[in-house]
Structure 1
Amino acid sequence: MTAQLSVSWLSKAPTVPERFVPSGARICPTTLTTSATLSSQSPTIQIVGVKSPSWQENGCANSNTFHGDQGESTWADLDTDLYYWTKAIRPVQWFPGHIAKAEKELKEQLKLMDVVIEVRDARIPMSTSHPQMDLWLGNKKRILVLNREDMISTADRNAWAAYYARQGIKVVFSNGQLGMGTMKLGRLAKTLAVDVNVKRRAKGLLARPVRAGIVGYPNVGKSSLINRLLKRKMCPAAPRPGVTRELRWVRFGKDLELLDSPGILPMRLSDQSAAIKLAICDDIGERSYDVADVAAILVQMLTRLPLVGADALHKRYRIDADVLSGTTFVEKLALSLFNGDVHQAAFRILADFRKGKFGWTALERPPR
């Protein structure tokens, strides 16, 4: 069934919002007829000046360009465009009151920890890295956990594994929901802190359990990871940020204690490209961002990701990602499925990405 576009809608639709056009591009809209439908010929918009020749003359996306290109230049160009896309939208900022209190308490507890387990979202490892974490930890032993490994491709996983191996960082890939990687994590934590009790015995002190603190951004899966380690639900966990609000020590067997901590964010998110990725991956409160803006940027990212492309969007919604404007795509989806409700359409796109409806893929690759 086709959805007829009204004259009033068409009068507003032709232009692509400049805030979502990559740097260096210019838009040349042609005349649109009032008889256009969503399933018939789409508005013809020519994008010129884009770095990669990935758009056909009639404005339709040539998604095959990106499916075959796994090179670093694709990701570098995407990062550059994302920087400019975020310039014209409302800044994403989120710092609930409980985070300030939790951060202060965490800094005190860090002094008691033998090893720190930092959990990040495997889809966005760089964006879920706290800028002050290195300063807080100093020379303390650390294990990096990339959680939700089931939500990224094998190519993504291999790229990040090689990147951290070159830096000599011990990394564990895990799935906190299913428990993959948790036993390896427990063994590694005990191994890194084995010298704790050696030193205590040398001083004539009794052995004690190794203390491991689990830290990271909101909703990256810290509590779920602990529950899987313990094989029972000891810490509250839910698929939304801000569930854990207090620090809590729990015992894992006789020789390991784990500290579950609330998600810690910087007071100000100065990197808005990272902030947008946090919003896309649901690692930040929904009130902190405009859902329609974030969904529009996600659409533009998906059309350019090597493992997704415009074909995946068309297959899911039967709508062509035919212009370099995520806003236009969201509006089309709203008319097609939600009686013009842009908010519902935007939320559907974000929810589908989070559920892997476009395939599992990371939104970041290691820096050069």
Structure 2
Amino acid sequence: MAIEIPSIQWFPGHMAKTRRLITENLKQVDLVLEITDARIPQSSRNPELDNWVAGKPRIIMLNKSDNADNERTKQWLAYYKEKGIPALACDCKTGTGVKDFMPLVRNVLSDVIAKREAKGMGGRAIRIMIVGIPNVGKSSFINRMSGSKRTKVEDRPGVTRGRQWVSLSKDLDLMDMPGVLWPKFEDPLVGEKLAFTGAVKDDVIDIELLAARLLQYLAEGYESRLKERYKLDTVEGLDGFELLEAVGRKRGMLISGGEVNTERAAITVVDEYRSGKLGKITFEVPQK
């Protein structure tokens, strides 16, 4: 039986301010870099952003690609190419793919750069606004590009609260925006996936319910991975809570009376997924 997580809504007041910051500062930049989570490429995109940055050159970065399914990442890159949206896959913590970013920027802005050079303004720095939902890795990207810890990086949502300019060289300035979600998740599955990856705060949802739903996803799309990691004989016919109990029992997480400590098991499952111990997993494929 399928388990459903109650609809998650999380829209702190500072995110409304971010929405205004983005639209008010758009004229100051040449390009918008939208950073998304390669594990949930669709759910980690703010659907309102298309309207906010309409008409401005844009690049989509699929970050955290080292923890995403390689084949599905290729599908997403092909999908964006077909739609005429420049995109690349990176992992800003390890540096995978980051070297391809500036060549892509110069290609996207080739006409703008040529016009500036023709006017004798070739030395002007390229200005890029960085946007994305919480916890997709905006600060990690800036730190990777700058080679130093210039911005605060934490594996939790809501660390960057205001606009930050970061000058990386005489040729490149980055404007970092706080992560911004949207007022309502029309699809409840979007809220689930954001909760899996930590894009919404853990205290807005019951950890056991979250882990049970995560295990259901894994049983449907990555059955062999799930069985191997937790030494499960079968996952067929088990719902999320039954899977959670099976994981806890295999790991010896028992309390008095032989019952499974499902809270402890849930924390383990969620932590192991987020740390990549369950392997490269992507929860979404492009819908044509």
Q: Mark yes or no: TM-score above 0.5.
A: yes
What secondary structure sits across from 2:273 in the alignment? helix
Q: How does 1:1-368 map to 2 (within 5 A)?
A: 20-21=1-2, 85-86=3-4, 89-196=5-112, 198-199=114-115, 207-305=123-221, 308-309=222-223, 311-319=224-232, 320-334=234-248, 336-339=252-255, 340-368=260-288
How many Å separate the matches in 2 of 1:349 and 1:237?
24
Alpha-carbon shift at residue 322 of structure 1 (Å): 4.4
CA distance in 2, matches of 1:252, 1:191: 19
Counterpart-to-counterpart distance in 2, 1:208 and 1:251: 12
Q: 8 Å contact 1:196–1:210 — kept in the other structure?
A: no
Aligned-partner Cα distance in 2 for 1:245–1:112: 19
Write the distance in 2 (CA, Å) between the matches of 1:157 and 1:215.
20
d(CA) in 2 for partners of 1:364, 1:204 = 46
After TM superposition, the score normalised by the length of structure 1 is 0.71
For structure 1, the residue ranges without an aligned partner over 5 or more in a row are 1-19, 22-84
CA deviations 1:35-73 (Å, max 9, x no partner) are xxxxxxxxxxxxxxxxxxxxxxxxxxxxxxxxxxxxxxx
The Cα shift of 1:315 comes to: 2.7
Q: How far, CA to CA, are the matches of 2:192 and 2:75 in structure 1?
A: 22
Deviation, 1:222, is 0.8
Paired letter, 1:140: K
CA distance in 2 between counterparts of 1:169 and 1:197 reads 19
C-alpha contact 1:316 1:358 (8 A) present in aligned 2: yes
Question: Aligned in 2, Cα 1:250/1:365: closer, same or farther, shift over 3 Å?
Answer: same
Report what 1:10 is aligned to. none
Give, as a single letter, the amino acid of the residue that structure 2 aligns with 1:225. F
For 1:270 and 1:355, the matched residues in 2 are separated by 28
AA in 1 matched with 2:286: P
Residue 334 of structure 1, CA deviation? 4.0
Task: Indicate conservation of the 8 Å contact 2:22/2:52, yes or no.
Answer: no
**CA contact 2:7–2:188 (8 Å) conserved in 1:** yes
Question: How big is the shift at 1:157?
Answer: 2.1
- Higher mean alpha-carbon deviation, 164-173 vs 329-338, is at 329-338
Distance in 2, matches of 1:280 and 1:338, equals 25
- Residue 17 of structure 1 aligns with which residue? none
Question: 2 CA distance for matches of 1:208 and 1:107?
Answer: 23
Q: What is the Cα deviation at residue 141 of structure 1?
A: 0.3
Aligned pair count reads 281
**For residue 364 of structure 1, what is the amino acid of its counterpart?**
E
Superposed CA deviations along residues 263-291 of structure 1, whole A, max 9, x for unmatched, are 11002222211110111111211122222
**3-state SS of the aligned residue for 1:275?**
helix
Paired-residue identity, %: 36
Check whether the contact 2:253–2:264 (CA below 8 A) recurs between aligned residues: no
CA contact (8 A) 2:19 2:180 kept: yes
* Partner SS for 1:120: strand
> Which shifted more, 162-171 or 113-122?
162-171
1:360 positional shift = 0.8
TM-score normalised over the length of structure 2: 0.89
How many Å apart are 1:200 and its aligned residue? 5.2
Change (3 A) 1:197 1:359: closer
Letter matched to residue 230 of structure 2: Y
CA separation in 2, counterparts of 1:250 and 1:275?
A: 31
Superposed CA offset, 1:290-314 (max 9, x none)? 2211211111111111xx21x4333
1:109 deviates by 1.2
Contact (CA 8 Å) 2:32, 2:128: kept in 1 or not?
A: yes
Cα distance, 1:318–1:144 mapped onto 2, change above 3 Å: same
Mapped to 2, the partners of 1:296 and 1:286 lie a distance apart of 14
TM-aligned CA distance change 1:210 to 1:332, over 3 Å: same
Q: 1:111 aligns to what SS in structure 2?
A: helix
Q: Is the 8 A contact 2:39 2:69 kept in 1?
A: no
